[in-house]
Structure 1
């Protein structure tokens, strides 16, 4: 079960179905947090969350700030992640992005992934906006 306030994302096919379930909640400041619980299908041989899962989660957690604010779709152009810690099986992992700049159709995002008070990863990305509303 997710913590109170989180709702399951309605991804019933494709990537979200494969790596999910993924969750989201709105924050009091008008932002959002995306999350998942580390399951057996997310782990590496050390029983910690695989870096590939964290990278994919960073993509959907950081880039979501664009659609959350504008309703527009986006694609990832560049994503750089620094791994700081590794969440174990069963950990509740949260992440969000912050818009730091705009250049035409490109959005610059800074993001963070955490478990409780522990930072798991930080990163930056460049995302291209598609001018079609979701």
Structure 2
């Protein structure tokens, strides 16, 4: 799946998957890149991401964690399409509106069909959610 490089704004130079309408338009937009510390995914917490308690909604953090699985494993997937087949997470804290939300992690193992990833999401540097998941490679069907 081809990533698109962002041309302007806070995340200029980062990449995103515009073909993923839920992650780009609805839950996000979310972004990723590789820096000197490795793969990183990020977004800026906006009003639309908040719950009634004034912190980022847990569902938003989980959607971002799912996006981050693929951002962290991007180089291992070698441009192939994949789906999440397992996902776990634990909430640690809730970031406020305006927070810079970041996910970093590692690929634990990558085989022919399955890739295992774990990571940590922070909000302005404070741990918010830890997560792990399994990605299964699969071909994109022409009717998708």
Same fold, TM-score > 0.5, yes or no? yes
Name the counterpart of 2:74. 67
Match of 1:91 among 99, 110, 113: 99
Normalising by the residue count of structure 1, what TM-score does the alignment of the two structures yield?
Answer: 0.83
Residue 82 of structure 1 pairs with residue 90 of structure 2? yes
Aligned Cα RMSD in Å?
2.2
Greater share of strand: 1
How big is the shift at 1:67?
2.4
Name the counterpart of 2:47. 40
Runs of at least 4 residues off by over 4 Å = none
Task: For 1:106 and 1:13, locate their aligned partners in 2 and report how far apart those are by CA, in whole Å.
Answer: 21
Task: For 1:88 and 1:116, locate their aligned partners in 2 and report how far apart those are by CA, in whole Å.
Answer: 9
Inter-CA distance 10–104: structure 2 relative to 1 (3 Å threshold): closer
Task: Indicate conservation of the 8 Å contact 1:23/1:34, yes or no.
Answer: yes
Inter-CA distance 120–107: structure 2 relative to 1 (3 Å threshold): same
Q: How many residues align?
A: 130
Inter-CA distance 12–40: structure 2 relative to 1 (3 Å threshold): farther
Match of 1:110 among 105, 118, 133: 118
